[in-house]
Chain A
Amino acid sequence: MTKFSDDKLKKVQEIMARYPDGKQKSALLPVLHLAQEEFGGWLSAETMDYVAGLLNLEPIEVYEVATFYSMYNLKPVGRYLFEVCQTGPCMLKGSDDIIEYIKEKLGIAVGETTPDGLFTLKTVECLGACGYAPMMQLGKNFREHLTREKVDSIIEELRARAGN
């Protein structure tokens, strides 16, 4: 059953209190972020319907938002999502090579997840780390100045973390 814990429900209330009365639809983006973190890293139809109910919105109001923004995943993703930037400034610093290397190393294409469910590779457009290129987003943080060696160590680090 899709349901936030009491803690998270409190967080939802806090978010809703940021807006004037009657403007609680504004809570939709932050609550979708919360739902995605909470319910497996992606937004299923069930999750979106639950959020609609919480905010007293029509489900379509949630779907149209969830499908617009690139950070909401509408399909299941691996435990660790590599979002590698490929826009101009990163390209100038070798992001194409980094993307090829990750594909080769993990044996997956862009958009795919490794069979063990650990890694998903996604290419993204400029994330605002142009001076520290090439880079990827990993969860809440950026991994910057990527090299092949750095990619190796990130993968090792995450495999070790998953093993625990």
Chain B
Amino acid sequence: MGRKLLLNKAHVEGILTYEVYRREGGYRSVEKALKTMSPDQVTEEVKKSGLRGRGGAGFPAGMKWSFLAKPEGVPRYLVCNADESEPGTFKDRYLMEFIPHLLIEGLIVSSYALGSNRTYIYIRGEYAWIVDILEQAIAEANQNGWLGKNILGSGFDCQVYVQRGAGAYICGEETALLESLEGKRGNPRIKPPFPAVKGLWDCPTVVNNVETLAAVVPIINDGGEEYAKIGIGKSTGTKLISACGNINKPGVYEIDMTISVEEFLYSDEYCGGIANGKRLKACIPGGSSVPILPANLLLKTAKGETRMMTYESLADGGFATGSMMGSGGFIVLDEDQCVVRNTLTLARFYRHESCGQCSPCREGTGWMEKILKNIEYGKGKKSDIDLLWDIQRKIEGNTICPLGDAAAWPVAAAIRHFRDEFEWHVDNPVESQHRNFGLAHYADPLPVPVTA
């Protein structure tokens, strides 16, 4: 059993309530931080922990905090990004639904570190029932003196509010989120200035993912150094992985980052293997925008090494033969799945979610969807595959925010690794309408490069 720091208490009966959460040791980190530490000491512990942003980008959280500008007399804000919308990702939902006080606790400590007296949780609009759960937890925290004025006599005031979005993937991008929180369309801002300097209402702001802020609780309780002892290299601590697709046990798992992809996928502690006795064809290991990998590159790197569930190992080989940890949305495709169709649904998703500000993304995502639709429905040409490649190249890196890249990468990776499946669709327009390409050679062991 791996170490669990976030979900270890998630199944305690009644943990949703303040009484049980507190009885189980909840809010200790607030006591420790507010009574015995300065805000900068809290930030220092987070830095020491090596905690990386759990929303997808993996940027060191402590460093992000240290960038926050602190001009005299200007309010600073902490905003919790609970807009979880990356296909395959449902970990933050799980945390908020089952152990909401952990997030509130993390928010209070983090607000203290950053000097945020008004902290917002921006949650995707579809998680409507979770708004009620969070507001209940906030009300309980207020009643018990963990929020409000002069918390624990520390002189620190803090209030937490929940803001509900209204259906827009783009609002998970931090500057779009801030626009939305200001009551506007979710159009990302040009950076710089970064939110740390000019964020919510032009004030210095830190935006962190739900899981990142929850992880602050064990970091403060046990110390940053203890946290950093878990995991491998720069992948410290534990990570929530939401596993879905054709597996026996879809769900949210907390892993310490020391296990292999193979163990995660096949052991009964986690995904429990491929459903219905089928074989693995492909996997998108970190949410829909990260590169899809064929079975043979998922379990081993191109160098023939075991691929681990860490930031570094998942990215081993770059985009040529690797992928990314991303948001931890682990999507598994069995041998009966069609990579073209899967790519089409993702292209449609990004076309639907493009905010329309930048032409390469607005136009390019539409073209990619149309071309993929033609290929999928037996109307494609060979040249369409090169055209798709060309379009994704022209989107990537040419937009204000990373949605363009997120839209380009899945298409690029699908063509890179599954080009013969696309070609088969073009060559077999009739057959491809009632049969899938199947597993083909995608699980065959790769030749291991000989090293001197």
Q: Which residues of A contact B (CB under 8 A)?
A: 18, 20, 23, 25-30, 32-33, 61, 64-65, 68-72, 86-89, 91-93, 124-133, 137, 140-142
Which residues of chain B from 123 to 151 have a CB within 8 Å of any chain A CB?
124-129
B90 touches A26 (CB 8 A): no
Interface-side segment among B43-51, B243-251, B301-309, B383-391: B243-251
Interface-side segment among B21-29, B107-115, B329-337: B329-337
Q: Which A residues are in CB contact (< 8 Å) with B425? A: none
What is the 8 Å Cβ interface bit string for chain B, positions 210-251, against chain A (1 contact, 0 not)? 000000000000000000000000000000001111100011
Q: Which of A30, A64, A131, A141 contacts B163 (CB 8 A)?
A: A30
B163 touches A26 (CB 8 A): yes
B168 touches A88 (CB 8 A): no
Q: Which A residues are in CB contact (< 8 Å) with B163? A: 18, 26, 29-30
Q: Would you give the shortest CB distance from A125 to chain B, in whole angstroms? A: 5
CB-CB under 8 A for A128 and B84, given A92-B342, A137-B126: yes
Indicate if B169 sits at the interface (CB-CB under 8 A): yes
Provide 14 A-B residue pairs closer than 8 Å at the C-beta atoms, listed in order of the A residue: A69-B165, A70-B166, A70-B168, A71-B125, A87-B87, A87-B348, A125-B353, A126-B288, A128-B93, A128-B124, A130-B88, A130-B242, A140-B128, A140-B129
CA distance A50 to B435 in the complex (A): 54
* Count: A-B pairs, CB below 8 Å: 146
Q: Which of A61, A92, A129, A132 has the most CB of B within 10 A?
A: A92
CA distance A26 to B161 in the complex (A): 12
B164 touches A125 (CB 8 A): no
Main secondary structure of the interface of A (DSSP, over half): mixed
B245 touches A68 (CB 8 A): no
CA distance A20 to B76 in the complex (A): 12
B166 touches A130 (CB 8 A): no
Indicate if B192 sits at the interface (CB-CB under 8 A): no
CB-CB under 8 A for A93 and B124, given A65-B183, A125-B169, A128-B93: no
CB-CB under 8 A for A69 and B168, given A30-B163, A137-B126: yes
Q: Which of A71, A92, A131 contacts B252 (CB 8 A)?
A: A131
Q: Which B residues are in CB contact (< 8 Å) with A25? A: 182-184
Q: Would you give the shortest CB distance from B312 to chain A, in whole angstroms? A: 25
Which residue from chain B places its CB closest to the CB of A36 in the assembled complex?
A: B166
Which residue from chain A places its CB closest to the CB of B351 in the assembled complex?
A: A125
Q: Which B residues are in CB contact (< 8 Å) with A69? A: 125, 165-168, 186
A29 touches B166 (CB 8 A): yes
Indicate if B349 sits at the interface (CB-CB under 8 A): yes
CA distance A68 to B355 in the complex (A): 8
Q: Would you give the shortest CB distance from B111 to chain A, in whole angstroms? A: 15
CA distance A23 to B127 in the complex (A): 25
CB-CB under 8 A for A128 and B244, given A18-B161, A88-B87, A92-B337: no
Q: Which of A29, A130, A133, A137 contacts B164 (CB 8 A)?
A: A29
CA distance A96 to B288 in the complex (A): 18
Q: Which of A33, A91, A130 contacts B342 (CB 8 A)?
A: A91
5 further contact pairs, Cβ within 8 A, besides A71-B125, A89-B331, A93-B246 = A88-B288, A89-B88, A92-B337, A125-B348, A126-B288
CA distance A124 to B288 in the complex (A): 16
Q: Would you give the shortest CB distance from B92 to chain A, in whole angstroms? A: 8
A128 touches B127 (CB 8 A): yes
B331 touches A130 (CB 8 A): yes
CB-CB under 8 A for A93 and B245, given A29-B166, A128-B85: yes
CA distance A70 to B352 in the complex (A): 10
Which residue from chain B places its CB closest to the CB of A68 in the assembled complex?
A: B185
Q: Which A residues are in CB contact (< 8 Å) with B124? A: 128
Which residues of chain B from 94 to 113 have a CB within 8 Å of any chain A CB?
none
CB-CB under 8 A for A88 and B342, given A23-B182, A29-B180, A69-B167: yes
What is the 8 Å Cβ interface bit string for chain B, positions 166-183, against chain A (1 contact, 0 not)? 111100000000001111
A126 touches B87 (CB 8 A): yes
Q: Which B residues are in CB contact (< 8 Å) with A61? A: 183-184
Which residue from chain A places its CB closest to the CB of B126 in the assembled complex?
A: A127
Which residue from chain B places its CB closest to the CB of A24 in the assembled complex?
A: B183
Indicate if B365 sits at the interface (CB-CB under 8 A): no
Indicate if B59 sits at the interface (CB-CB under 8 A): no
CA distance A127 to B118 in the complex (A): 28
Q: Which B residues are in CB contact (< 8 Å) with A132? A: 90, 250
Q: Which of A26, A28, A72, A86 contacts B345 (CB 8 A)?
A: A86
Q: Would you give the shortest CB distance from B118 to chain A, in whole angstroms? A: 7
Q: Which A residues are in CB contact (< 8 Å) with B86? A: 126
B346 touches A33 (CB 8 A): no
Q: Which of A20, A33, A64, A86 contacts B125 (CB 8 A)?
A: A33
Q: Which A residues are in CB contact (< 8 Å) with B161? A: 18
CA distance A27 to B165 in the complex (A): 11
Q: Which of B89, B163, B167, B183 has the most CB of A within 10 A?
A: B183
Q: Which B residues are in CB contact (< 8 Å) with A142? A: 126
Q: Which B residues are in CB contact (< 8 Å) with A86? A: 345, 348
Which residue from chain A places its CB closest to the CB of B347 in the assembled complex?
A: A88
Q: Would you give the shortest CB distance from B318 to chain A, in whole angstroms? A: 23
B90 touches A87 (CB 8 A): no
CA distance A33 to B201 in the complex (A): 22
CA distance A93 to B245 in the complex (A): 7
Q: Which B residues are in CB contact (< 8 Å) with A88? A: 87-88, 284, 288, 331, 342, 345-346, 349
